[in-house]
Chains A and B, each alone.
Chain A
């Protein structure tokens, strides 16, 4: 039995909660929380930037976990988790980079600076773009899964080295560009926490749908040929 869509009661509830949560976050971030003393209204981007960065980390963490577990258990479930998490994670990486750049423009005066995090996240983005390219190469499912699991793990072990080297590189040349507000007022912290929770829910929502799409795609891949053959046979029986 092939389902007609990827939604279910659970995903509809998560989706509705996410959308309602976005509305609450908008009010909290734009109306309730005060502007920052130093950065003014630009600081409100933190309510978007930090939660999407957390969702990004979740995505790459789950991707590495799924890849390692696939290599161990060879279960299709883990592979599907790995690829869905990477794809959703990549979207959140792009959002992290874009919100970071939008925040950088009024704060640093430029969209791009060779800040340690900005630089390492852009490398991360390109690495996982490569992962998805490998993923889409035509191959047997088993070969494809093994290949992408290795690419995921090869990238994952590089992440700390990249981050460490880039941080080290920048700290040798310039002091920290800006230290984020050391004290954070109560309503700002509350808004940030609410926003994190909402974005984690949003991540889960997207991940569930993406997981089911990926699962169905593999179903089509494995069963599509058999189905096409039996359809042709049925046609031959109808037309005498």
Chain B
């Protein structure tokens, strides 16, 4: 099924997206500040003096990741919608599975950078002390893979549509509910210093990521075709 050129094609697409990102700085200059803003808004919504922020840190972190992730995904597919880029992609002769892996990979990398920024944000502003580093890092990587894979599938589906900005959150957020749940529980376990409670959730996140990566590899071609 997978040819050895798939990963080369994925690298081409991911390289293109990351180069675009490097030149336009949308993630670092717009989406990352937005994510930090969400952290500050949470502090306004939940009284910071009563310890609610500290107790809810894991959940707030992942909600902020999902919201800013939506922006990153919309950006990733908005650049393909303009100037007939989608037709260009289809005519490029690149393997659709490779295009999927490349798009999702670039989004995942951007999300990981966002998570670093958000992590620094919660340490500085919410006074969080990170523990159980291995669990934290693995949770981030696995959950981000799931978000990027499912998000790329819905992203390409919504890309050509006039209602894409409003449609994508409606379609994607219910699907990502288990990721939010699993990643939050896993982070809670890590922050509480009880990583053994978190690993089963990582397995759930891994199952989610595996299902949507497999779906994307198989179906991305026909999703890219329509418009």
A130 neighbours in B (Cβ, 8 Å) = 167, 170-171, 174
Give the residues in chain A near B171, CB-CB below 8 Å.
Answer: 127, 130, 133-134, 151
Provide the residues of chain B in CB contact with A142, threshold 8 Å.
Answer: 226
Q: Are B167 and A123 in contact (CB under 8 A)?
A: no
Contact, CB under 8 Å: B167 / A133:
yes
A164 within 8 Å of B (CB atoms): yes
> Judging by beta carbons under 8 Å apart, are A147 and B157 in contact?
yes
Nearest-Cβ distance from residue A49 to partner chain B, whole angstroms: 23
Q: Does B5 contact A (CB under 8 A)?
A: no
Give the shortest distance, in Å, between B218 (CB) and chain A (any CB).
Answer: 10
User: Do the beta carbons of A127 and B223 come within 8 Å of each other?
Assistant: no
Q: Is the CB of A165 within 8 A of B181?
A: yes
- Complex-state Cα separation, A157 to B215, whole angstroms: 10
B175 near A158 with CB under 8 A, answer yes
| Given A161-B207, A161-B208, residue A154 in contact with residue B178 (CB < 8 A) | no
Contact among A137, A143, A161, A168 with B163 in the assembled complex (CB-CB below 8 Å): A137
Which range contains the number of A residues in contact with the other chain?
A: 20 to 34
- Over the window 151-176 of chain A, the binary record of Cβ atoms lying under 8 Å from chain B Cβ atoms (1 yes, 0 no) is 10111011001101110110010000
User: In the assembly, what is the distance between CA of A142 and CA of B204, in Å?
Assistant: 35
Min C-beta distance of A166 to chain B, whole Å: 7
Q: Is the interface of B mostly helix, strand, loop or mixed?
A: helix
Task: Give B182 Cβ to nearest chain A Cβ, in Å.
Answer: 6
Q: Return the CB mask of A108-144 against B: 1 if under 8 Å, else 0.
A: 0000000000000001001101100110010100110
Chain B interface size range? 20 to 34
Q: Is B219 an interface residue (CB 8 A)?
A: yes
Set B154, B174, B178: member contacting A165, Cβ < 8 A = B178
B211:A161 contact, CB within 8 angstroms: yes
Q: Is the CB of A76 closer than 8 A to any CB of chain B?
A: no
Q: Find residues 164-190 in chain B having any chain A CB closer than 8 Å to their own CB.
A: 167, 170-171, 174-175, 177-178, 181-182, 185
Residues from chain B with a CB closer than 8 A to the CB of A127 are 171, 174-175
Min CB distance B112 to A, Å, is 22
**A158, B178: Cβ atoms under 8 Å?**
yes
Say yes or no for A146: interface residue by CB 8 A criterion.
Answer: yes
> Given A137-B163, A154-B153, A161-B204, do A143 and B226 touch, yes or no (CB 8 Å)?
yes
A150, CB-defined interface residue at 8 Å = yes
The distance in angstroms between the C-alpha atoms of A147 and B200, with both chains bound, is 34
B30 within 8 A of A: no
A154-B154 in contact given A123-B174, A130-B171 (Cβ < 8 Å): yes
Q: Which of B170, B174, B208, B215 has the most CB of A within 10 A?
A: B174
Q: Contacts A165-B204, A169-B181 known; A137 to B211 CB distance under 8 Å? A: no
Question: Contact between A169 and B185 (Cβ–Cβ < 8 Å)?
Answer: yes
Q: Is B204 a contact partner of A137 (Cβ separation < 8 A)?
A: no
Give me the interface of A with B, judged by CB distance under 8 Å.
123, 126-127, 129-130, 133-134, 137, 139, 142-143, 146-147, 150-151, 153-155, 157-158, 161-162, 164-166, 168-169, 172
Other than the given A126-B170, A154-B212, A164-B204, 8 more pairs (CB < 8 A) read: A123-B174, A126-B174, A137-B161, A151-B171, A154-B175, A158-B178, A166-B178, A168-B200
Contact surface of B with A, Cβ cutoff 8 Å = 150, 153-154, 157, 161, 163, 167, 170-171, 174-175, 177-178, 181-182, 185, 200, 204, 207-208, 211-212, 215, 219, 222-223, 225-227
